[in-house]
Every structure is written in structure tokens, then in C-alpha cells.
Amino acid sequence: MRKPLISANWKMNKTIGETEEFIRAFLPLVKDVTDVDIIIAPPFTSLSAASGLLTGTGVKLAAQNVFYEEKGAFTGEISPAMLLASGCSCVIIGHSERRQYFHETDEVVNKKIGTARKNGLEVILCIGESLKEREENRTFGVLDGQLSGSLKDLTLDGITIAYEPIWAIGTGRTATKEQANEAHSFIRGWLRKNKESADSIRILYGGSVTPENVASLMSEPDVDGGLVGGASLKPDSFAKIVTGAR
Ligand code: PGA
């Protein structure tokens, strides 16, 4: 049985003060939740403050990105060791916004996952097709290419996959639970064929997850949780998603 996992992805939102305010309001709302794993991914600048409040609570801390080199002359970049020292145990890699706005390729994503895993960070790898690709019936081909490129020469140890159809991100247009499960079961089939231990890997759905639709998405056999953007920015809404995932 795979334990449900719900992760917040705050993107470029919340100052240190706003982060602390969120966490202080959120923790009491989920204090009795032991059957869902919870992750929060604030921006880099809030990691240390968040870590101070989350330590000992069971809620894990993730970063939204990491660089693939360990240290050196890479102005503006953040290393795995810096994330670990800021209290992170996890990092989101390959989000479609990174691919779209910062030109991250599967090759870059692959290098980032390799360095993150080498340093002991767990990874949430994001993949997903655009609307055009879906309309041209290329969804499975796109997922296949992203999985092969991103996971090249890597084991699945410490990796969670997030299926995020780009057309559903921040649009309010959620994939139907059938569309989500179809993609998730394709992904699990791919992992089973090309890697090891696919049955224990969690596959999260991301794209306009809300308190209203989380239970329906979670009712599908291959949907193991959610990566939540917009609806994770308010403590009560994110707490409802966590409790709705049970
Ligand atoms: P959304 O974002 O929930 O706002 O659609 C999800 C994501 O990009 O991870």
C-alpha cells in the first residue's frame, strides 16, 4: 500500500513572515493526520524559517529547485548541501515552469536528480504534456521521452513522480480522474518495464487540485497524492486537501 502524499508548491509566493504565519496556522489543522505524508515547498528565502517551525512535526520541507553542481562559480544557484543545511529533505525538480521559462531540458533535469540523490535529498520529478501535445494524441510519447531522459542511468530510490499536465496548472481546468489515472498507469507501466520496484513509487497528480476535487482524484488506483500550487497558499484550503486525501 502506498501512503498518500500531499505536497504544497508555493512557487514565487510568500515572504519569511508570510511563511511563518502560514505554518503557525496550518500545523494545528493537521496535528492528528498520520496517514498522509505532507510536504511544503516554500521559496529558498523561507526555507530556514520554515525549518525552524516544522522540525519535529512530521511535515517535511522541500525546495523548488536545485543546481547540479556541488559548489563553485555559478552565480545565483543553490547546491544540495545548502538545501540540506537549510532543513530540506526533498526537492522538486523539472517543474514545467522551470522547463518553460528557464529552458530546463530532460538532460539538465537528469543531472539535477543525480546530484540531489547523491547528496541524500528525496526528489519529486515533474513531467507532463502541453495542451497541444494532448490534442495531437502525443501524451504518452511525451511522457515516455521525459521519463527516459530525466531518469537516465538512475534508480527509482528516493524518487516520487508528479504528473502535471501543463494545461491543468493554474488554470482551474483539472484533469478528470480518468485522464489522471490513465496517465499515472502509463507512467507506472513505464517504470515497471524500464526500472525496478515501480509498485512502491508514489505518483502524484498536479494541476488545479482543490479541496473539492482531491477525494475524487485520490479514488483512482494509481493516483497516490497531489502536488498543489494555488490551493496550497491558504492554511485551511491546504489542510482540507491533506485531510481529503485520506
Ligand atoms: P496549481 O499548480 O495547483 O496552481 O495548478 C500545481 C503545480 O504547478 O505544481
What are the residue ranges in the chain where pLDDT is below 70? none
- Say which amino acid occupies 5: L
Which residues span the domain enclosing 133?
5-244
* Concatenated DSSP letters of 100-151: HHS---HHHHHHHHHHHHHTT-EEEEEE---HHHHHTT-HHHHHHHHHHHHT
**Ligand 1 cavity residues, CB under 6 Å:** 9, 164, 169-170, 206-209, 227-231
Beta bridge partners of 41: 9
pLDDT of residue 155: 96
pLDDT of residue 197: 77
Task: Tell how far the Cα of 72 is from the centroid of ligand 1, in angstroms.
Answer: 32
pLDDT of residue 196: 82
Q: How many domains does the chain have?
A: 1
With contact defined as beta carbons under 8 Å apart, do 213 and 172 qualify? Answer: no
CATH number, domain of 33, equals 3.20.20.70
From 164, 167, 171, the mutation candidate for ligand 1 (largest count of ligand atoms within 8 A of CB) is: 164
Task: Tell how far the Cα of 170 is from the centroid of ligand 1, in angstroms.
Answer: 5
